[in-house]
Amino acid sequence: MTAKTTVPRSTTAQQPPAPGKATINDIARLAGVSKKTVSRVINDSPLVKPDTRAKVHALMREYGYAPDPQARGLAFRKSFLVGLVFDNPTAQYIVNMQYGVLDALRDTGYELVVHPCDSKREGYIDGIRRFVLQQKLHGVILIPRVSEDQALAEALREIDCRYVRIASVPFDEAGRMLVTQDRIAGAEAADYLESLGHRRIGLITGPKRYRSSIERGGGFLDALAKRGVQVPPENVYEGGYTFESGVAGAEQLLSRPDRPTAIFACNDEMAAGVYKAAQRMGISIPVELSVVGYDDSPLASQLWPAMTTVRLPVRDVGRQAASLLLAQDASQVAVMASVTPHLVARDSCLPPQAG
Amino acid sequence: MTAKTTVPRSTTAQQPPAPGKATINDIARLAGVSKKTVSRVINDSPLVKPDTRAKVHALMREYGYAPDPQARGLAFRKSFLVGLVFDNPTAQYIVNMQYGVLDALRDTGYELVVHPCDSKREGYIDGIRRFVLQQKLHGVILIPRVSEDQALAEALREIDCRYVRIASVPFDEAGRMLVTQDRIAGAEAADYLESLGHRRIGLITGPKRYRSSIERGGGFLDALAKRGVQVPPENVYEGGYTFESGVAGAEQLLSRPDRPTAIFACNDEMAAGVYKAAQRMGISIPVELSVVGYDDSPLASQLWPAMTTVRLPVRDVGRQAASLLLAQDASQVAVMASVTPHLVARDSCLPPQAG
DNA sequence: CTGAAAGCGCTTACAG
DNA sequence: CTGAAAGCGCTTACAG
């Protein structure tokens, strides 16, 4: 028996809704229209008289009303969640991608759900399918390497799930693809080293099963060939995109009598391995050896000398991918979206020493 | 007029539900029980006869039924989403944390929604409040530095939002806190360097507004003092947790005539800066200078020589934080959960040179 | 341009 | 231990 007055749960004398707690019914009642009309305003239907729309909008703002995504989702039979599916890229890549996607999702009512997976595991596609189906995802964004898996894309199409694939080759139709021009970037690295005067050049690629590796390395070799520089097979080492494989590759390339005066590693981790091997062998970077990496990871600028590398604006990529995904209902995209990475010249390259 | 037969939408002759498309009604009908009973099975109510439960479970498995989180959420007035709120830690930290949280969420029906924010921006708490309220989040996990903000925690309590704070000091009650013992780890670094024989020791801290910085640096200095080693103020440099501030700090510490024989930097980025400064100044690590970092970032093992650093098992932390969050309804946690980081000795420390 | 009815797939509150 | 009714906050399908 306290003095506290309790408000009856269901009263017909309508109270103003608590801030952030208003429902479509509150707004409808306050506006003197049906909830269907409010629904029309929410969904930007043209079938609303401007006056009515304005009044409803004002009320929505006043009460801080935002439609409940769960209720909306239930009625729409889809959620307002976008999934980010990735296998195992670098932390920096994942995080930048997330920031970019969130940039595009901000104030759209969509949220980002993260879903790492292991594409080497049997049945990983089933896991993704369950995730999509159960959460009734609006769509998913696929990052390399899962983006390169045609079976996964097919499975998603089968269950009618929107998706955008980020990959270095147009594996899919426009509107569902965001191409990163790794081949062009590889060529840029080649042009840079050749124009510095390097002729004996080494290449440390990633694993062949990564399309990015093929594009980066292939673009590099092709561009060199175009400039008349041949890279003999013994100057090409297939690494595993890991630091250790970079060390191993560099040790092999640099222990040959006619050792290269420049090395292009297809990611920064391996390039860092080149640094380590060079230091161990007493080979000075950049005087005796030029090094170019790929990714512009934080590492690149924190090594000494700061590393020349290739930068993909990952956050932009994420932003564009999310925009593509949200636009899929509205428009039939005709042109293939693409982003080209560029060389960031720092201190790890110099013309080769005379002699 | 094609030959294609269309199935009437609402037929009374019930069809078996498509895989992954069954609803509670399908399961109820097939089991010959009410949907309320199926609901009880879903929610592990004890008020179900074992036989009934078994039959329902069998059917759920057979049809790959999983309750719709949106419908459940709408009825429960809360979603099955957990938010991860962070300001600006390193990419590796964020990603490991996400992996850990997802480990704990796997097969629970909960999903992870990421929410970066800028704690320096006016009204950032409002943004988080809106996020929580609109998505009706099950709860949020707060990472340093947002986890250190009492106003944010208060705002969350006000709107009745579950949360777990990860921080280096018990800012909150048990069950809502996961303490990382940065102070103890700082002491471990001190003990290690002192036991190697170092007496002139430098310290590069993070910004004072980070509690982690205070704990790491404070723990380090206290432990040294306990062993009789005083660190004069001119051997302490306040950095900004950035590479550049590490370079600047090391340049200052190392240009003094009685320069330190060892430096502890409160994160790896700054420690990498120490490497760079040392190389520039021609001071050899570890022979002339020992370096200890903090974080065990990928960088640490990819520098040369490989860096001795302090490792917090971030993935475990994420896992534990998520478990705490999910357990908040069930149990009143009595003991404060905590995790202690440990020193990872590599190649960047040696006893000081004679003389 | 607007609205009343039914429904999305679950749960709560109540009754038995 | 089980179920029929009403409701969560939205939308679709239909009618006007």
What is the b/e burial string over B91-128, where b = at least 16 CB atoms within 10 angstroms of the residue's CB? bbbbbbbbbbbbebbeeeebbbbbbbbebeeeebbeeb
Q: Is residue A107 located within the same domain as residue A170? A: yes
With contact defined as beta carbons under 8 Å apart, do B265 and B237 qualify? Answer: no
The pLDDT of B250-262, averaged and rounded, is 97
Give the span between the Cα atoms of B123 and B1, in whole angstroms: 61
3-class secondary-structure state, position A112: strand
Whether B146 is covered by a domain: the verdict is yes
**Is residue B47 very low, low, confident or very high in pLDDT (cuts 50, 70, 90)?**
confident
**Is residue B18 very low, low, confident or very high in pLDDT (cuts 50, 70, 90)?**
confident
Give the span between the Cα atoms of A268 and B69, in whole angstroms: 41
Q: Quote the Cα angle for B8-B9-B12, to 5°.
A: 80
A279 and B304 in contact by Cβ < 8 A?
yes
Q: Which residues of A touch B70 (CB under 8 A)?
A: 70, 73-74, 79, 136
Whether A70 is covered by a domain: the verdict is no
- In chain A, what percentage of residues exceed pLDDT 90? 86
Whether A345 is covered by a domain: the verdict is no
Q: What is the pLDDT of residue A137?
A: 97
Q: Is residue A172 located within the same domain as residue A278? A: no
Q: What is the pLDDT of residue A15?
A: 64
Residue B114: what are its φ and ψ, rounded to 5°? -95, 140
Q: Domain tally for chain B?
A: 3
The pLDDT of A65-75, averaged and rounded, is 94
Q: Is residue A82 located within the same domain as residue A157? A: yes
**Is residue A5 very low, low, confident or very high in pLDDT (cuts 50, 70, 90)?**
very low
Q: How far is the CA of A75 from the C1' of D12 (A)?
A: 8
Q: For residue range B297-317, what is the model confidence (pLDDT) as tens digits? A: 999 999 999 999 999 999 999
Whether A65 is covered by a domain: the verdict is no
Q: What is the pLDDT of residue B354?
A: 67
Nearest to residue A292, comparing CAs of A181, A208, A193? A193
Q: How far is the CA of B107 from the C1' of C9 (A)?
A: 20
Has residue B332 got a pLDDT over 80? no
Q: Is residue B113 located within the same domain as residue B31? A: no
Q: Which residues of A touch B130 (CB under 8 A)?
A: 20, 66
Q: What is the pLDDT of residue A149?
A: 96
Q: Is residue A117 located within the same domain as residue A150? A: yes
| Contact residues of B toward A, CB < 8 A | 20, 66, 68-71, 73-74, 79, 81, 90-92, 94-96, 98-99, 102, 111-114, 116, 129-130, 133-136, 243, 269, 272-273, 275-276, 279-280, 298-299, 301-304
Q: What is the pLDDT of residue A18?
A: 74
Length of chain B counted residue by residue: 355
- Distant-in-sequence, close-in-space partners of B311: CB < 8 Å, separation ≥ 6: B295, B296, B341, B342, B343, B344
- Please count the CA atoms within 13 angstroms of the CA of B307 that sit on its side-chain side: 31
Q: For residue range A283-337, what is the model confidence (pLDDT) as tens digits? A: 999 999 999 999 999 999 999 999 999 999 999 999 999 999 999 887 776 789 9
Q: Is residue A320 located within the same domain as residue A305? A: no
Nearest to residue B263, comparing CAs of B196, B207, B208, B214? B196
Q: Which nucleotide is nearest to B69 (CA to C1')?
A: C10
Q: Is residue A174 located within the same domain as residue A320? A: yes
B276 and A302 in contact by Cβ < 8 A?
yes
**Is residue B14 very low, low, confident or very high in pLDDT (cuts 50, 70, 90)?**
low
- In chain A, what percentage of residues exceed pLDDT 70? 95
Length of chain A counted residue by residue: 355
Q: Is residue B258 located within the same domain as residue B276? A: yes
Burial of A197 (0-12, 13-18, 19+ CB in 10 A): middle
Q: Is residue B222 located within the same domain as residue B278? A: yes
Beta-strand ranges (E) seen in B169-288 are 177-180, 201-205, 236-238, 262-265
CATH number for the domain harbouring residue B262? 3.40.50.2300
Q: Which of A48-57, B231-240, B340-349 has the lowest mean pLDDT?
A: A48-57
Residue of A nearest to B274 (CA): A302
Q: Is residue A300 located within the same domain as residue A187? A: yes
Whether B215 is covered by a domain: the verdict is yes
Q: Is residue A222 located within the same domain as residue A302? A: yes
Q: What is the pLDDT of residue A13?
A: 44
Q: What is the pLDDT of residue A2?
A: 32
Tokens of A216: 């980066």
Bases of chain C within 7 A of a CB of the protein:
1-5, 7-13
Provide the domain limits for residue A110.
75-180+314-340
Tokens of B150: 């009492």
Q: For residue range B118-157, what is the model confidence (pLDDT) as tens digits? A: 999 999 999 999 999 999 999 999 999 999 999 999 999 9
For an interface test with B, which of A304, A314, A319, A346 has the most B Cβ atoms less than 10 Å from its Cβ?
A304
With contact defined as beta carbons under 8 Å apart, do A224 and A230 qualify? Answer: yes
Nearest to residue A97, comparing CAs of A107, A85, A108, A109? A85
Q: What is the pLDDT of residue A354?
A: 66
Q: Which of B94, B129, B279 sits opposite A304 (nearest CB)?
A: B279
Has residue B9 got a pLDDT over 90? no
Whether B4 is covered by a domain: the verdict is no
B94 and A91 in contact by Cβ < 8 A?
yes
Q: Is residue B292 located within the same domain as residue B186? A: yes
- In chain B, what percentage of residues exceed pLDDT 70? 95
The pLDDT of B243-247, averaged and rounded, is 97
Has residue B181 got a pLDDT over 50? yes
Q: For residue range B84-130, what is the model confidence (pLDDT) as tens digits? A: 999 988 999 999 999 999 999 999 999 999 999 999 999 999 999 99
Whether B49 is covered by a domain: the verdict is yes
Has residue B7 got a pLDDT over 90? no
Residue holding tokens 């040696």? B350
For an interface test with B, which of A60, A65, A84, A95 has the most B Cβ atoms less than 10 Å from its Cβ?
A95
Q: Which of A99, A111, A135 sits opposite B69 (nearest CB)?
A: A135
How confident is the prediction for chain A on average, in pLDDT?
A: 92
Q: What is the pLDDT of residue A14?
A: 56
Has residue A158 got a pLDDT over 50? yes
How confident is the prediction for chain B on average, in pLDDT?
A: 92
Whether A26 is covered by a domain: the verdict is yes
Residue of A nearest to B130 (CA): A20
Tokens of B152: 């944010």
